[in-house]
Amino acid sequence: MTAKYRLLALDMDGTLLNDEQKITPLTVEWIKKAMEAGVHVCLSTGRSSRSAMPYAEQLGLNTPMIMVNGSEVWRAPHELYRRSLMDVELVKEMHKIAEEFDIWFWAYSVDEVYNRDSWDGEIDSREWLKFGYSTEDNDIRHKLLMRLQELGGLEITNSSPFNLEINPLGVNKASGILEVCKLLGINMSQVVAVGDSLNDLAAIQQSGFGVAMGNAQETVKQEADAVVASNNEDGIAEVIQKYILTEAGTSAGRISKQA
């Protein structure tokens, strides 16, 4: 089989992983086929490297990886290439806002993930990568968004309809994929990016071919070139089978955007 594209950038939660946090055997099988055909398979996740690494090892990946929504790019597993840190003053402001609204929050430092239950108030001495909030109250989430936009200097996305994830401005999965392309000597036009949430949107828009999972948020589906089965129905296997590997090796044109 010949590959139409050179890089497959995969979100993890809600995309590569099913709802039981597992990669199904069929998905593993097709990822191996893609790798055998010369496709670079790259994890592109909001997770920390510590949390993502076991899955990279399960798949036998030795490619660059995008972690913490692009705040880290790894040249290979266990080999850091670039890290973008958050302004400590912004972290303090975001923590104040979390306290004010009395909602669940978490923050990724270089070494650890902290949340409302484990927060010790020590901000200045740590290096921060990402901050997040979670609430099912739509009104509070909207007010939060307004406050965050007023702060400035922030890249605001989500990894579920009920949360907000914040990285330094300009840092996202698309910027991470662009760096990975440079490391591999390929172009964004040769990338297939797959995801389900707003933190995948920039990657889906800017890659050569953007795919939304069947369980993706509506905005993501609207911006994608194709929509496949859900994360519980081997959507990634479908991506590889339909859009990446071809018997003939002829390059297919971009599928028109979903209505």
Whose structure tokens read 């339909």? 242
Which of 11, 200, 225, 234 is the catalytic position?
Answer: 11
Rounded Cα distance, 257 and 224, in Å? 6
| CA-to-CA dists, residue 254 to 37, 161, 187, angstroms | 21, 28, 16
Q: Indicate the pairing of strand 128-134 with strand 163-168.
A: antiparallel
Structure-derived torsion over alpha carbons of residues 37, 216, 24, 50, reported in degrees to the nearest 10:
90
Rounded Cα distance, 219 and 169, in Å? 21
What letters, b where the CB count within 10 A reaches 16 and e where it falls short, cover 183-217? bbebebebbbbbbbbbbbbbbbebbbbbbbbebbb
Rounded Cα distance, 133 and 144, in Å? 9
164's enclosing H/E stretch is strand 163-168
Rounded Cα distance, 37 and 162, in Å? 38
Query: Is 87 among the residues known to form the active site?
Result: no
Rounded Cα distance, 248 and 64, in Å? 28
Q: Which residues are catalytic?
A: 11
